[in-house]
Amino acid sequence: MYLPLIRLMAAVLLVACSAAQAQAGQEKTLIIGIDGVQLSQYERLGPDANLHRLSYAKAYAGGVIGKPTQQPTLSGPSWITLLTGVWADKHGVMSNDAQWRLDPRYPSVLKRLRQARPDAHIASVVNWSPINSAFLADEVAAFDVVESGLSDDRVVERVTAILSSTPADLTFAHLDEPDSVAHEYCFGDAYQTALANSDRRLGMLLDQVQARQQRLPKERWLVLLTTDHGRDPAGCGHGGQSESEKTVFIAANQSLNAELTDPRPPADNPGPNGLYGYAAQTSLAPTVLRHMNLEPRRAWLLEGSPLLGATGVRKLRVDEASHQLRWFSEASTRVQIFRNGRRVAQPEAARQVWTDPDTMAGVNDYVVELDDTPVAVRNAAAPSERAKTPSDDAGR
Ligand SMILES: [Zn+2]
């Protein structure tokens, strides 16, 4: 007698739940970060690896050598660059020291989604604790799920639970095995086993997303896979600016734009072996924001071209000696150039260069906007101006 009533109530509940979910937004993102993966070693797992369920390309970590963006290829600075879309000279996490906190002027994508959508389900589930307990410590109170210090298997279990029973709007999952194994054994059999284990965990997470998509076909899922830094040529350590340490990758479950797939090494500064022709690590955050319908804004000063939709200008850079901004673009329209928030010029995009008539005195935040897509860059102070302030890097 009660059974039909229970069924009716269940049906009503189900309808109410799906209505709430539709309201909450159908764009979903899962960011999977695997610590310390050298792409060339990962590819040695062969064509059956779960990596090949995604499209991917090389990217670079560690900023640009000799520029204000140069940062150590360490976990703390790198993960926070991936999650904010700016280099450490802006986000402020300069090393793995637990004293560092993210500069609140450059919040993570998790915090930005919270600011835009108080109802969004936001999770950060990490093996390496300092991401949550130190660098994002001032943000995590705003997240729905914050788990730190879990084993990789527990990270997968926890994220599986999130994917199966919550709105799961934005989830960051951090796995650590390749990095910790390589610190002990360098490249070799143990590292390959660690990569195979991580790839199996990747496969489990991709299966979970697929199952959810079948269950909830209206949802639009972006799954991103990346790593924080490469390794030195022997695989043992990292932190420096060698090509292998700076080489990372970005993979996705959908095809991304030319900034990822069509490398354009700048002729005046191609980087080690043309590495700066690939996407910067700063491109991950604007990609996530755009997918989540949070269009990157000029005031955010994000330093990467998004990898979904319009790229904006690509390879934006400063040549302080000639007071020039340079970029790559084949667009037939004009760009808008802003200096410290004020529009100062509208040159043709295809010129790919603009000289600041005010000679870049001091430190300036430039934004070049094309196709409603802003990309930012900050010039270095002239050596004479730098000498006026004592270096805060002394002794570190
Ligand atoms: Zn790391």
Domain of 341, CATH number, reads 2.60.40
Compute φ and ψ for 395, nearest 5 degrees: 80, 5
Q: Is 217 exposed, middle or buried (0-12, 13-18, 19+ CB in 10 A)?
A: exposed
Q: Are residues 52 and 127 in the same domain?
A: yes
What pLDDT does residue 385 have?
75
Cβ contact 375:304 at 8 Å: yes
Q: 21 C-alpha to center of ligand 1: Å?
A: 35
Strand, coil or helix: what is 65? Answer: coil
Q: 229 C-alpha to center of ligand 1: Å?
A: 6
Q: 83 C-alpha to center of ligand 1: Å?
A: 14
Give, as residue ranges, everything with CB less than 5 Å from ion ligand 1: 35-36, 75, 179, 228
Cβ contact 142:117 at 8 Å: no
Residue 201 within any structural domain of the chain: yes
Residue 313 within any structural domain of the chain: no
Residue 16 within any structural domain of the chain: no
Q: Are residues 329 and 289 in the same domain?
A: no
Exposure string over 109-118, b if 16+ CB within 10 A, otherwise e: bbbbbbeebe
What pLDDT does residue 387 have?
58
Distance CA 221, CA 229 (A): 25
Compute φ and ψ for 105, nearest 5 degrees: -70, -15
Q: 266 C-alpha to center of ligand 1: Å?
A: 27
Q: Are residues 67 and 152 in the same domain?
A: yes
Q: 135 C-alpha to center of ligand 1: Å?
A: 14
Which of 238, 264, 299 terminates a domain? The answer is 299
Q: Are residues 271 and 342 in the same domain?
A: no
Residue 20 within any structural domain of the chain: no
Q: 59 C-alpha to center of ligand 1: Å?
A: 15
Q: 75 C-alpha to center of ligand 1: Å?
A: 4
Compute φ and ψ for 129, nearest 5 degrees: -55, -40
Q: 227 C-alpha to center of ligand 1: Å?
A: 8
Q: Are residues 287 and 334 in the same domain?
A: no
Q: Are residues 109 and 174 in the same domain?
A: yes
Which of 230, 264, 299 terminates a domain? The answer is 299
Q: Are residues 295 and 324 in the same domain?
A: no
What pLDDT does residue 2 have?
47
Q: 380 C-alpha to center of ligand 1: Å?
A: 27
Q: 12 C-alpha to center of ligand 1: Å?
A: 47
Q: 374 C-alpha to center of ligand 1: Å?
A: 29
Closest CA to 182 of 257, 239, 258: 239
Q: 101 C-alpha to center of ligand 1: Å?
A: 17
Cβ contact 112:123 at 8 Å: no
Q: 281 C-alpha to center of ligand 1: Å?
A: 13
Q: Are residues 255 and 354 in the same domain?
A: no
Q: 119 C-alpha to center of ligand 1: Å?
A: 31
Alpha helices in 166-238 (DSSP H): 177-185, 189-215
Residue 191 within any structural domain of the chain: yes
Q: Are residues 231 and 145 in the same domain?
A: yes
Q: 263 C-alpha to center of ligand 1: Å?
A: 25
Q: 237 C-alpha to center of ligand 1: Å?
A: 10
Find the CATH number of the domain harbouring 39.
3.40.720.10
Q: Are residues 256 and 338 in the same domain?
A: no
Q: 79 C-alpha to center of ligand 1: Å?
A: 8
Q: How many domains is the chain built from? A: 2
What pLDDT does residue 388 have?
53
Q: 228 C-alpha to center of ligand 1: Å?
A: 5
In sequence order, what are the residues at sequence separation of 6 or more whose Cβ sits closer than 8 angstroms to the Cβ of residue 169? Answer: 24, 25, 27, 28, 29, 113, 117, 120, 121, 122, 292
For the whole model, what pTM was predicted?
0.91
Residue 307 within any structural domain of the chain: no
Q: Are residues 153 and 100 in the same domain?
A: yes
Which of 239, 272, 299 terminates a domain? The answer is 299
Q: 176 C-alpha to center of ligand 1: Å?
A: 8
Residue 393 within any structural domain of the chain: no
Q: Is 37 exposed, middle or buried (0-12, 13-18, 19+ CB in 10 A)?
A: buried
Q: What is the Cβ-side half-sphere exposure of residue 248, based on CA atoms within 13 angstroms?
A: 32
pLDDT in tens, the chain (396 residues): 344 444 555 544 444 444 444 444 899 999 999 999 999 999 999 999 999 999 999 999 999 999 999 999 999 999 999 999 999 999 999 999 999 999 999 999 999 999 999 999 999 999 999 999 999 999 999 999 999 999 999 999 999 999 999 999 999 999 999 999 999 999 999 999 999 999 999 999 999 999 999 999 999 999 999 999 999 999 999 999 999 999 999 999 999 999 999 999 999 999 999 999 999 999 999 999 999 999 999 999 999 999 999 999 999 999 999 999 999 999 999 999 999 999 999 999 999 999 999 989 999 999 999 999 999 999 998 877 765 544 444 333
Tell me the torsion sign for CA atoms 229, 235, 238, 242: negative
Residue 193 within any structural domain of the chain: yes
Q: Are residues 285 and 366 in the same domain?
A: no
| C-alpha separations of 266 from 147, 327, 364 in Å | 41, 8, 22
Distance CA 209, CA 212 (A): 5
Structural domain for 347, as ranges? 318-386
Compute φ and ψ for 327, nearest 5 degrees: -155, 175
